[in-house]
Amino acid sequence: MDEFLIRPDPDDPRLTRRVTGVDHEGRRVETAVTVERPLTLFLNRQEIVTMMTVGDYPEYLAVGYLRNQDMLRADDAVTGIDHDEEIETVVVRTERATDYEAKLRKKTLTSGCAQGTVFGDVMESFERARLPDDAVVRTSWLYALMKKINTAPSLYLAAGAIHGGVLCQGDRPLVYMEDVGRHNAIDKIAGYMFLERVPGADKILYTTGRLTSEMVIKTVQMGIPVLVSRSGFTAWGVELARSANLTLIGRAKGRRFLALAGEGRVVFDADLSAVGEEPRYLARKSSREDDAA
């Protein structure tokens, strides 16, 4: 798995906890469960939000959240990021003075978990966005990515109750982030891209979560032309993807997938007879948890 620049570490003792209980036959069992903890985000001196998170990569999460809420501009200079694990806070400091009191009063709750929000002016900027036509996504890439991602060590396989997001290029997964909320996982990737100055035009974004309006909006803001999920779609997510020229591919499991927007980018170059079905252990876990994505 050395092709990943960043990937989950299911052996990190901070991220899971062993608990005991009983199973359906009354037998005593011990299992791993995912840990969640609060993280309060400040932008300069202003408190922005408290998020529930597993706690890894707080700097990327904080910056990505601010970027995807349009509180950080593309040309903003981040002068410091201070994370205090003991008091569960992270402070992002910028060269530009900021004051978002009015903006915070205008926020709209969305269908996402873990404090998913979208602001009115984010929608206004989204309406002007349109991704370029020159990107392609090969089906051979999709099948290779799904195999590599689904078999990589992860908290999902170790404990479940968690979402993942993966930044990919061609058939290579680059940055794999997980969190209790699917928006947090994507925001961590957005923060990585912002701080490391990684362009999105030649990338693919994979998520385990549903393809909702906010997932589409975040992907477009990150400048990524292709969004893929093993889960399903919402009608508004499809509508927004079509308006922004985003390729939206869902229900991607085994040999199957469905493209409902931007399907002209898809190049069908894979030999389906050579593509295996999804591993049974993953399919079983998926059937229990994906519908609650």
In a domain, 283, yes or no: yes
Q: Which pLDDT score is estimated for 255?
A: 92
Sign of CA dihedral 178, 199, 242, 71: positive
Q: Rounded CA gap, 129 and 245, in Å?
A: 9
pLDDT at site 111: 39
Asked if the structure places residue 69 within a domain, the reply is: no
At residue 128, the pLDDT reads: 79
Give domain status of residue 62, yes or no: no
Number of domains in the chain: 1
Q: What is the C-alpha to C-alpha distance for residues 72 and 70, in angstroms, rounded to an integer?
A: 5
In a domain? residue 21? no
pTM of the predicted model, to two decimals?
0.88
CA distance 23 to 36: 23
43: in domain: no
49: in domain:
no
For residue 186, give the CATH number of its domain.
3.40.140.10
Q: What is the mean pLDDT of each run of 10 residues along the chain (293 residues)?
A: 84 94 94 94 94 96 94 94 97 92 58 48 76 95 95 90 95 96 95 98 96 94 96 96 96 95 96 82 55 47
Q: Name the β-bridge partners of 41.
A: 49, 90
In a domain, 144, yes or no: yes
Write the burial class of residue 236 (CB in 10 Å: 0-12 exposed, 13-18 middle, 19+ buried): middle
Range of the domain at 167: 137-292
Predicted pLDDT at 22: 95
In a domain, 129, yes or no: no
pLDDT at 2: 60
Q: What is the CA radius of gyration of the chain?
A: 19
| Residue 145: predicted pLDDT | 96
Predicted local distance difference test score (pLDDT) of residue 53: 96
Q: Are 55 and 35 in contact (CB under 8 A)?
A: yes
